[in-house]
Amino acid sequence: MKQPPVTVRDLLSSGVLPGTRVVAGDAGLDRLVAEIVASEINTGVPAADTLTIAEVAGPGSIRESLHNIDTMLRRAADAGAAALILCQLPAEALPLSPVRIANRYRVPLVAAPTHHSIDLAYRLKLALHHADVHAADKLCTLVDRIPRNASLGTVVSVLADSLDATAAALTPQGIVMAGQRPAVKLDIDWHRPVPVAEVTGTGAYAARPLLNPDGNLAFWILAHHPLGGVAWRDLAARVLHLAEAFAAKWWASEKVTAEREARYRSRLLGEVLAQGPELPRRTAELADRIGWNITGWNTGVHFLRLSDETQDTASASALDQALLAAGLTLGPVIEQPDGWATWVSAGRPGQDTTTLTEAVTYALRTYTAQPGTIPVAAGIGTSASGPAGLASSLNAARRAALAAAVGGTAGSVQHVDLLGTDELLRMASTSLADSGLLAPLLASPHGATLLKTVEAFLDFGTLRAAQRLHLSRNTVTTHINRASRVLGVNLGDPDQRLLVHLACRAHRAPGEQS
């Protein structure tokens, strides 16, 4: 089979020249190569269209031969040679003159400090004359080097090594999941899951999307080579196709594990929040086993999602990292229906409200600055003791997050202690019905009955509410206590009582009588 024409660029990006550098003569990278020749630096006679490989050090010192590089380059230019590769020569050892000559005559000059000419010539000959064998070798090497159950990091690392390129796994939002983002901007529509491979002015790249079982885009794997040409692009597309299977396997496994862990944590937090001050022994053991500290003084932090996007692990991970970077040692970031929840535990009461608010604000600024993250607002609850305190603090935090979200600005943070009447009234006037304040109550068992009791209690007081609802006073009191716990509010507090009262009114259908 006739081989396609091979350029200097193709050979330099073929992966057989790791650690080499094009020192000069970039304008000649698209010259065609007909043959590979290894020769002596001072006696070699390059021929037309040959890529000449010369050993600079040889039996003597590099300094004995530096002037021979100029003459060899000129002979190469006069003969119409394709390129000159200098072995055993650190690029920084080159004086200015060969760089200028290579640029003037457009002869690519490549420094290969760790290679030997004969070995390099053999490998380049294989890449030149047997491109299919070379490509097959790359694919086989990739399969051999990726272990079973490889992580995404391993897959991307092997990918980078195989293609001698920059490789990465990126979310559709551009967040790096593994590897290193290419230094140049790639012209890819990240939300259109179609494999792409292009040669551009800044090299060549290939990218493949990985899809979730539901057909939605999960993430991309990609590679970029600054010297890549058509041959590299085609090889990269094939290598990425193969690597996709390994990445997809990792993704499926990761997703199952993540969902299982998230479900487990959410369920455990639900159990903790549903209990009273004393946790059942089994729940306490489970919480302790996964490292949750909930017996001290807890301050809840709630991150409320501001968009309808599905929560993803990348955003959770980005949030986790932003909190760590802000110096916050919080508990686990646990997925909630409307966002994420976490808390700070301390051995004694008196959490510094201002410091915590500033730290969370800083963390959210970092998080929001990352492209593609889900926009959130945060609320911080009041410090309270034990599991029951955690429950009330998290509920308060959620309420504060709702207040912070009213403005609709991503990254807003509100501490519940700082919520004033004005804030509450502003919330009420904005859209209390959509605020979700009553959502936990409505979602709980017998939520509608409890809501009706709360409304009557707030409108008429305990005695008249019992009369109107045909309940005993004790039942009304029990309903109010349970509703307060579910909502995480203290109806004895005038501000909170007013907020719930307004929310009940807003929730009520127009024209409906109390």
Chain residues in the site for other proteins (CB under 8 A): 41-43, 45, 60-61, 63-68, 70-75, 77, 95-98, 100-101, 104-105
Q: How far is the CB of 35 from other proteins (least distance, A)?
A: 20
Q: Which is nearer to other proteins, 45 or 439 (CB)?
A: 45
Residue 76 near residue 52 (C-beta atoms within 8 A): yes
User: Which residue in 317, 373, 410 sits closest to 172, CA to CA?
Assistant: 373
Q: How far is the CB of 56 from other proteins (least distance, A)?
A: 10
Q: How far is the CB of 99 from other proteins (least distance, A)?
A: 9
DSSP 48-97: TTEEEEEESSTTS-GGGTHHHHHHHHHHHHHHT-SEEEEET--GGG--HH
All residues at 6 or more sequence positions from 244 whose CB lies less than 8 Å from its CB, including other chains:
208, 210, 221
User: Which residue in 79, 99, 80 sits closest to 21, CA to CA?
Assistant: 99
Q: Which is nearer to other proteins, 56 or 451 (CB)?
A: 56
Q: Which is nearer to other proteins, 57 or 177 (CB)?
A: 57
Phi, psi of 269 (to 5 degrees): -65, -35
- Alpha-carbon span 302 to 341, nearest angstrom: 5
Q: Which is nearer to other proteins, 108 or 411 (CB)?
A: 108
Q: Which is nearer to other proteins, 35 or 64 (CB)?
A: 64
Q: How far is the CB of 8 from other proteins (least distance, A)?
A: 19
Q: Which is nearer to other proteins, 98 or 209 (CB)?
A: 98
Q: How far is the CB of 51 from other proteins (least distance, A)?
A: 18
All residues at 6 or more sequence positions from 471 whose CB lies less than 8 Å from its CB, including other chains:
453, 465, 479
Residue 483 near residue 441 (C-beta atoms within 8 A): yes
Residue 481 near residue 454 (C-beta atoms within 8 A): no
Structure tokens given for 407 = 């403005």
Q: Which is nearer to other proteins, 42 or 293 (CB)?
A: 42
Q: Residue 23: helix, strand or coil by DSSP?
A: strand
Phi, psi of 196 (to 5 degrees): -135, 150
Q: Which is nearer to other proteins, 113 or 193 (CB)?
A: 113
Q: How far is the CB of 54 from other proteins (least distance, A)?
A: 12
Q: How far is the CB of 70 from other proteins (least distance, A)?
A: 4
Q: How far is the CB of 159 from other proteins (least distance, A)?
A: 40
- Whose tokens are 């992580």? That residue is 151
